[in-house]
A and B are shown apart, each in its own frame.
Chain A
């Protein structure tokens, strides 16, 4: 599998091919081309793929073409030497990574609110932007813990091309699979749309369903972008142009990946 020169949240199908190959082979080669760039979201995607490979006991060989000391190569070397080569008991913070412009954690379970405390001083966010990023990440993190069935989740934040990117990814129970227990909808796209509406919830004891709809409002106010992929569905919201693209993924994503982007000129 040859990865694209830009790994980010834009062409998810190309990473889902890599995920699918993990169910077919016991050893895979992942080739990362010269001049590769990896956005903060791309880092979290790669962590999901590596975690899936480790769980399926598939051996991955990284072939890294570039030699220049870039952020992307530094991250790939971190994954290769720190995560892929790791033997023995897995530490909860095995995947944690920090560079000048990004923060990433992977947690097997439970809240990690320390992440939010690190964000504001690291990226020198304005008070409002810090609040919005906290709100988005906290809602996504809780959602992942509540619904994904105890799989490790990855949370990231970072600066990328005049935007702040943040999101949470997991490889647990997908949003459509969870909602299908309660709601009757024709396909995964409709179920995913329902998940983003106020008042839809799978909780029995405590009513909920406010979080995801509210953070959509936050992104709307900031003219941001939101991508949610889960099961067979992918929805991209462009709040500046008020467009939404709904599509069926070529390969099923066993889990939920949520990516938010907010335009930001810097501190």
Chain B
């Protein structure tokens, strides 16, 4: 499954509500054992709310960091957004690896 952030979150890529939507989409796909490509191309997110709700709380959807590392492919994530996601995940003891293409 491919999630193109620019397309799906074209009106809101910053709020907790939008992050929750992203988390559920990722969670549903991972529960089925599918791979997810998160495509951030052309976007600068710069939002703690969106990433905290969308990524750092993936544990709440029953996903383990190992599953995330294995099943999520990161694409076009801004280097500062990468830092932000890492920091937010660490705060929730949910340490994942991000290698954005």
Contacts and interface: CB of A to CB of B under 8 A. Distances in A.
A167 interface: no
Given A131-B46, A134-B44, A139-B47, A210 B88 contact: yes
B66 interface: no
Given A142-B14, A210-B52, 16 more contacts: A111-B12, A113-B13, A116-B46, A127-B80, A130-B44, A131-B44, A131-B46, A131-B80, A134-B44, A135-B46, A138-B14, A139-B47, A139-B48, A139-B49, A142-B47, A210-B88
Interface string A116-145: 100000000001101100110011001000
Contacts of A142: 14-15, 47, 49
Size class of B's contact patch? 10 to 19
Contacts, number: 47
B12 A134 contact: no
A208 interface: yes
B19 to A, nearest CB: 9
A208 B88 CA distance: 12
Contact of B53 (A111, A127, A206): A206
Q: Which interface class (under 10, 10 to 19, 20 to 34, 35 or more) fits A?
A: 10 to 19
A197 to B, nearest CB: 14
A134 B46 contact: yes
24 contacts: A111-B12, A111-B14, A111-B15, A113-B12, A113-B14, A116-B44, A127-B80, A128-B80, A131-B44, A131-B80, A134-B44, A135-B48, A142-B15, A142-B49, A206-B16, A206-B17, A206-B20, A208-B16, A208-B52, A210-B49, A210-B88, A211-B48, A211-B49, A214-B48
